[in-house]
């Protein structure tokens, strides 16, 4: 059965055209005050993909900034939900429909990870969500955790700071330089998924 999406008026519409080979979603919060924060590191991967391949994120009906880009012979959808992190699933579910992602393992969710030090990057298939509210929202709306995760380490906060406050801060210069390199690594990994297996991508890019 073809996947269907809903317009703002609630009418179901079929997916038109060829489905995307991959949907890459960068999690974060919308608005200038959140730009460059640890919580928005996933968005930076989507922006890097757009910059490399001539994409322009535009407002979509799915409460996201989104576009389709071409990478070689492949169609890749990229998106930044505008629902705020804790409600990411409200945007991701209709994006999955819009771009015809029937195999949920072709959905890549890029996000910050407190349990990894800055500079670490891990590709993960399914499994636990480590308390990440954006991932929980996606799970609740898709009813699965089988989507692929790109975990970008931002490290644990100092003892006196809550994790929520830590991720909403911008990193210092040293961590910023480190994260810039990880964004490039994660973007390369997303491109590699088009032509190689998840296991091979893990072996090549996990650090």
Residues paired with residue 4 on neighbouring β-strands, in sequence order: 14
DSSP 63: S
Q: What share of the chain is helix, strand, coil (3-state, %, to 5)?
A: 40, 25, 40
In angstroms, rounded to a whole number, what is the distance separating the alpha carbons of residues 118 and 186?
Answer: 13
Give residue 1's pLDDT band: very low, low, confident or very high (50, 70, 90). very low
The predicted pLDDT at position 18 comes to 82
Q: Say how far apart CA 121 and CA 139 lie, in whole Å.
A: 21
Q: What global pTM score does this model have?
A: 0.91
Q: Which residues are catalytic?
A: 39
Q: What is the pLDDT of residue 154?
A: 97
No. of helices (H) and no. of strands (E), the chain: 6, 9
Say if residues 28 and 83 touch (Cβ distance below 8 Å).
Answer: no
Mean pLDDT in residue range 85-94: 97
The domain spans of the chain are 4-8+20-205
Alpha helix (H) ranges present in 77-131? 89-98
Distance CA 186, CA 188 (A): 5
CATH superfamily of domain region 4-8+20-205: Peptidyl-tRNA hydrolase (3.40.50.1470)
């Amino acid at each position: 059965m073809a996947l269907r999406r809903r317009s703002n008026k609630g009418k179901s519409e079929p997916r038109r055209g060829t489905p995307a080979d991959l949907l890459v979603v960068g999690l974060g919060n919308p608005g200038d005050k959140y730009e460059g924060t640890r919580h928005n590191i996933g968005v930076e991967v989507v922006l890097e993909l757009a910059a490399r391949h001539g994409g322009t994120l535009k407002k979509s009906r799915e409460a996201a900034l989104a576009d389709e880009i071409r990478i070689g012979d492949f169609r890749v959808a990229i998106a930044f939900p505008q629902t705020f992190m804790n409600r990411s699933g409200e945007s991701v579910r209709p994006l999955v429909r819009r771009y015809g992602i029937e195999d949920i393992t072709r959905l890549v969710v890029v996000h910050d990870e407190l349990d990894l030090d800055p500079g670490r990057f891990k590709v993960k298939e399914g499994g636990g969500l480590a308390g990440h509210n954006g991932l929980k929202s996606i799970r609740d709306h898709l009813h699965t955790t089988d989507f692929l995760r790109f975990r970008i380490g931002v490290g644990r906060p100092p003892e006196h700071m809550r994790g929520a406050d830590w991720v909403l801060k911008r990193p210092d210069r040293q961590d910023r330089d480190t994260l810039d390199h990880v964004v490039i690594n994660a973007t390369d990994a997303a491109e590699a998924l088009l032509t190689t297996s998840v296991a091979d991508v893990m072996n090549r890019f996990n650090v």
